[in-house]
Amino acid sequence: MRFLLILTLSLFSFGINSQSIDSLLSIYKTKQTDLKIQNQVLSKLSWAYLYINTDSAILFAKKHFEVASTLKDKVAMIDAYNHMAIAYSMRGEYERSLKYDFEILKYDKQQNDSAEIAKTLNQIGINYQYMGDYPKALEYYYQALHIRENRKEDRDISDTYTCLGLVYYDQKDLKKEWSTFLKALTFIKK
């Protein structure tokens, strides 16, 4: 039975729809005592609700964080923070999103995970850009870009150049916008 639940949860990773959410909710309600399964289900529920209902996504992410804390599962705790950061950003609550992003960044640095550090720095840049704080957005984007260039991650380098180009677009600096978008294109072609 446990194997079937794990297999079911794994299959949900490939696509979430309303039927999947109903199945996850059913598993969540029937497996209240198995914290490891609850941990997985709550992660999937919070992710599934991100683009449907951010209130529900946050609710499930907070429950996910509680269960992960009980299990002392630091990776799952960071996963819950990530879901909360995304949900708050989607709601336009950028300061709240940043609170979680900075916690994630602290963890990434403790793990010395440069790929995750760059991803989180980029996300922080996005929040500052949405807030209209372009100097901070540029600061974090350039930090992410530096790491990604050192790692030679062409697709991620292209994504960060695109973000930079959007900041320059917002600032009406067409020359810098044009040059960063061209740089983004050169990394897409590689």
Is the pLDDT reported for residue 186 higher than 70?
yes
Are residues 99 and 64 part of one domain?
no
Q: Band the pLDDT of 1: cuts 50, 70, 90.
A: very low
Is the pLDDT reported for residue 13 higher than 70?
no
Is the pLDDT reported for residue 59 higher than 90?
yes
Highest mean pLDDT among 8-17, 157-166, 180-189: 157-166
* Interatomic CA distance for residues 159 and 156, integer angstroms: 5
* Interatomic CA distance for residues 17 and 11, integer angstroms: 12
pLDDT digits (tens, 9 = 90+) for 29-43: 776 678 898 889 899
What does the mean pLDDT of the chain come to?
A: 88
Residue ending a domain, among 91, 111, 139, is 91
- 139: domain CATH number is 1.25.40.10
The domain of 36 spans: 1-91
The total domain count for the chain is 2
Is the pLDDT reported for residue 140 higher than 70?
yes
Question: What proportion of the chain, given as a percentage, has pLDDT over 70?
Answer: 88
Do 106 and 140 meet the contact criterion of CB atoms below 8 Å apart?
Answer: no
